[in-house]
Structure 1
Amino acid sequence: MQDKPRLHGANFPSARDEMPSNQQDSPPAYRLAYTDQDFLLREELRGLRFHLELQKPEMVLKEHGIESTIVIFGSARFLSPSDANNALKSAEADGDPAKIRAAKREQRNSHYYQQAQKLGDLITSHSANCEENERLYVVTGGGPGIMEAANRGAAEANGKSIGLNIVLPHEQAPNPYISPEFCFRFHYFGIRKMHFMLRAKAVIVCPGGFGTFDELFEALTLIQTGKSKRVPIILIGHEFWRQAINLEFLRDEGVISPDDVNMISIVDTAEQAWQHIVDFYQLSPGQCIRC
């Protein structure tokens, strides 16, 4: 029986409709290009893969109405307070002084895990009363440590959050607190960092290592050069950051402008970081950020 003519819809079959089920059984030259993995992974198609990594998260987030995010960076190595306490007990039982010192350091740094977790809660709880396109979503690199803590805080506030994971030589699985529909995986660091900043209304940075510094200075450079709108860049932990970076020295050496030292704010708690965002956007109680 002939199908009833339709007034809507495309005249041509979609690429999905015409994809053969036995594609991989065909000789390489005969395979449809967009389904041929060997072809897509060729060196000459790197630019296309860049585009795909840009487009996939962009399309998904747009489809879900996500327009504004708060990015939280920090060390993947920091433990939760409970894990840090257990590690210290284990080290003390072992009796190795070096392990005990390291475990005490981990216990001290677990404070930052708590702050990131609280941030995830504060941001997500604030957004619970906002219209969909005015909500703020937590974004992290999707891994353990500070990233896990921020995603965890959002999940415990009954909200959704985003994780931008990266393929590394040593396996890094996404933390279990990311909303599954917003758990993305990247091959290219550059495209991943672009996604961090595309929707960022603020960048909050806990102590971390090379990766954290890379992400922090990427954000600073984009804002300093005018490639990005100015958004709050907030560092948590005076003790750490005053020793880790010295913008005043860079200013005095003439390698940055005098006003560049004002691009960052340093606080000690999640509440102070959130208040800085509230003040920057001049939000009254219960008011949401207008995109």
Structure 2
Amino acid sequence: MTDPIPPKRIFPDAKVDAQAAKQIRTSAQTEDPAYRLAFQDNDFLLRQDLRPVRFQLELLKPELLLDEQQIGSTFVFYGSARVPEPAKAEAQLNAARTDEERVIAERLVAKSHYYDVARELARLVSKTDRDDEGKRHFVVCSGGGPSFMEAANRGAQDVGAESIGLNIVLPHEQLPNPYVTPSLSFQFHYFALRKMHFLLRARAVAVFPGGFGTFDEMFELLTLIQTGKVRPLPILLYGREFWNRVVDFEALVEEGVISERDLDLITWCETAEEGWAHVCDHYARQQAGRAA
């Protein structure tokens, strides 16, 4: 006699109950919102009191789906949503009508070549092989929007690789760029949860010229590493001329608010090749250290 095999579960699947709930006869009771299944009641889920539950859902949904798709680690790209690719930047310069518009357009042109750098870097990192468990590593992850984010997802697509887009609901429309893999395109309500997902699997980060959002993401990561909340990982900072113009890093040291060694958290880069070489060297040294 063979040993009995118990069923995997004894409670009905939530999908079954949800379907059954749609087929009940209507009455004054069943028509009232109070009778809806809690997880199907959007008005209930959107109540102020349910914010902790929504936090949990925004943490859990991408985590489960990324696990299911064997995403072991990511290579995160931060940068402006306003710097167009070179051809479009030139067109914007040609369309400038005032001196102010022309000066801004010229500066966008000067930064636009980093679109091609981000795209090439994404191509390089996306060729990483799966590990022995079948997990994918250094999967390109961007904010899912235009400019440098688009360049990153586009570079991954160039070599037939999937890439992630973490979009955010904003007052003005922001659709995912067309190069994000649809099954890896996520939308967030909470900036905090989106930022958390940027870093949960991050094993390298490339930061391109950007504004408030880029500053926020980069300095939060630097703070997490500086304070020991996150292990050191490669942070590639592209566009030294831009960054030194908008942030005086040395002055922070001179003012005593950061230490000289904190600047070592940043690796200055200009090309895709030198950025990827630094990442490879960083992890090669780590492996050698563990072996020793």
CA distance in 1 between counterparts of 2:101 and 2:34 reads 58
Residue 255 of structure 1, aligned match among 254, 257, 281: 257
Q: Distance in 1 between matches of 2:58 and 2:253?
A: 37
Task: Give 2:37's aligned residue.
Answer: 32
1:84 CA drift (Å)? 1.8
Note if 1:201 corresponds to 2:206. Answer: no
Tell me which amino acid in the other structure corresponds to 1:248: E
Cα distance, 1:237 vs. partner?
Answer: 1.1
Q: 1:28 to 1:216 in 2, by over 3 A?
A: same
- Partner deviation per Cα, 1:22-55 (whole Å, 9 max, x = no partner): 6997311111111111000010110110000000
Query: Aligned match of 1:113 in 109, 115, 118?
Result: 115
Number of matched pairs? 275
1:18 alignment partner, SS class: helix
Structure 1: state its 5+ residue gaps. Answer: 1-5, 284-291
1:238 alignment counterpart: 240
Q: Matches of residues 111-260 of structure 1 in structure 2 within 5 Å?
A: 111-125=113-127, 127-128=128-129, 132-260=134-262
Q: 2:130, 2:136 within 8 Å by CA — same for their partners in 1?
A: no
In structure 2, how many angstroms separate the alpha carbons of the residues matched to 1:107 and 1:265? 24
Which residue of the partner structure matches residue 90 of structure 2?
85
Correspondences of 1:269-288 after superposition (within 5 Å): 269-282=271-284
Supply the distance in 2 between the matched residues of 1:199 and 1:102 (Cα, whole angstroms).
Answer: 36
State the alpha-carbon separation in 1 of the partners of residues 98 and 260 from structure 2.
48
Q: Which moved more, 1:6-15 or 1:43-52?
A: 6-15
Structure 2: stretches of 5+ with no match in the other structure: 286-292
What's the TM-score once normalised by structure 2's chain length? 0.88
TM-superposed CA distance for 1:81, in Å, is 1.5
Residues 129 and 136, structure 2, Cα contact 8 Å, conserved in 1: no
Q: Does 1:49 align with 2:54?
A: yes
After superposing the two structures, state which structure 1 stretch, 95-104 or 245-254, moved more: 95-104
Structure 1 residue 8 displacement after superposition: 3.2
RMSD: 2.1
The change in CA–CA distance for 1:90 and 1:199 in structure 2 (over 3 A counts) is same
Q: How far apart, CA to CA, are the structure 2 residues paired with 1:156 and 1:22?
A: 48
Q: Deviations over 1:34-89 (max 9, x none)?
A: 11110000101101100000000000000111111111100000101222233234
Shift of 1:262: 1.0
8 A Cα contact 2:144 2:176, kept in partner: yes
| CA–CA separation in structure 2 for the residues paired with 1:147 and 1:200 | 15
Over residues 100-133 of structure 1, what are the superposed CA-to-partner deviations in whole Å (9 max), with x where a residue is unaligned? 33333322221111111111111112x1575532
CA distance in 1: counterparts of 2:255 and 2:95, whole angstroms: 47
| Deviation readout 1:148-167 (Å, 9 max, x if unpaired) | 01100001111000000001
Q: Distance in 2 between matches of 1:230 and 1:133?
A: 22
Cα distance, 1:214 vs. partner? 0.1
Distance in 1 between the 2:103 and 2:244 partners? 23
- Supply the distance in 2 between the matched residues of 1:200 and 1:255 (Cα, whole angstroms): 27
Greater CA drift, 253-262 or 215-224:
253-262
CA separation of 1:156 and 1:130: change in aligned 2, threshold 3 A: farther
Deviations 1:245-267 (A, max 9, x none): 23322222221233212111111
Give the match's secondary structure for 1:281: helix
Deviation at 1:7, TM superposition (A): 4.9
TM-score by length of 1: 0.88
Ranges of 4+ aligned residues in structure 1 off by more than 4 Å: 22-25, 128-131
Task: Give the Cα separation in 2 of the matches to 1:195 and 1:17.
Answer: 31
